[in-house]
Homo-oligomer: A and B are copies of this chain.
Amino acid sequence: MVRQRVVLIADLIGTAVFAIEGATAAIHAGLDLLGVLVLSFTVALGGGVIRDLLIGAAPPNALRDWRYPTLAFVAGLATFLLHAQIEAVPLMFMVTLDAAGLALFAVAGAEKAIEFNISSISAILMGAVTGCGGGVIRDVFRARIPMVLNTDIYASAALLGAAVVVAGRRLGFAPSVAAMAGFLACFAVRILAFLLGWHLPRVSGAL
């Protein structure tokens, strides 16, 4: 009961953080108020919606539970109105919140996927889709190559966190232990990658 409430609150905070980021991206792309709200919704809830469609859980949770879209729109509207103030928030603070949101979504995505009829490798993928799917739609809507495909350690951190959850469950650890370990793995790697400038390898000179 207490755990459920903690999970719900964490989920709502993650949703709000991602919605603010989506709204900020929309404002930077010169979109109007509707575009800002659409990207708030998309970045905050798009990953979970894709995951739910893929695992066969339609209608997605974000459409069934009115609190999620409402929160995303309120956060987007607040960002629209208070844009100057939000731009003034220190970058490291936003990166930390974003890493926490990513870790949370990756863990929650893998956990939900485990309950459905899919393979372990797919449950790990669903963790990453939950964490990164919204950002991919954001970039497609801005007609850009999705950032997770060529910058930084981001989706990789989500994959790691989801893999820790799936492995922990398989090895018989309690769900809450597996979840906590997955969260910490994703969060730590993401923050370290940001601070230390880690990147994945690429084939050089192939353009």
B-binding residues in A (CB < 8 A): 26-36, 38-39, 41, 49, 53-56, 58-60, 62-66, 69-70, 80, 83, 116-122, 125-126, 136, 140-146, 148-151, 155-156, 199-203, 206-207
Is the pair A55, B63 in contact by a Cβ cutoff of 8 Å?
yes
Is the pair A116, B59 in contact by a Cβ cutoff of 8 Å?
yes
Is the pair A118, B63 in contact by a Cβ cutoff of 8 Å?
yes
Given contacts A63-B54, A142-B145, A150-B35, contact A207 B30 (CB under 8 A): yes
Q: How many copies does the complex hold?
A: 3
Is the pair B202, A150 in contact by a Cβ cutoff of 8 Å?
no
Chain B residues closer than 8 Å to A140, beta-carbon distance: 140-141, 143
Given contacts A30-B207, A53-B53, A206-B27, contact A120 B66 (CB under 8 A): yes
Is the pair B202, A119 in contact by a Cβ cutoff of 8 Å?
no
Is the pair B59, A58 in contact by a Cβ cutoff of 8 Å?
no
Provide the bound-state CA to CA distance between A140 and B151, in Å.
18
Chain B residues closer than 8 Å to A41, beta-carbon distance: 125
Chain B residues closer than 8 Å to A150, beta-carbon distance: 29-32, 35
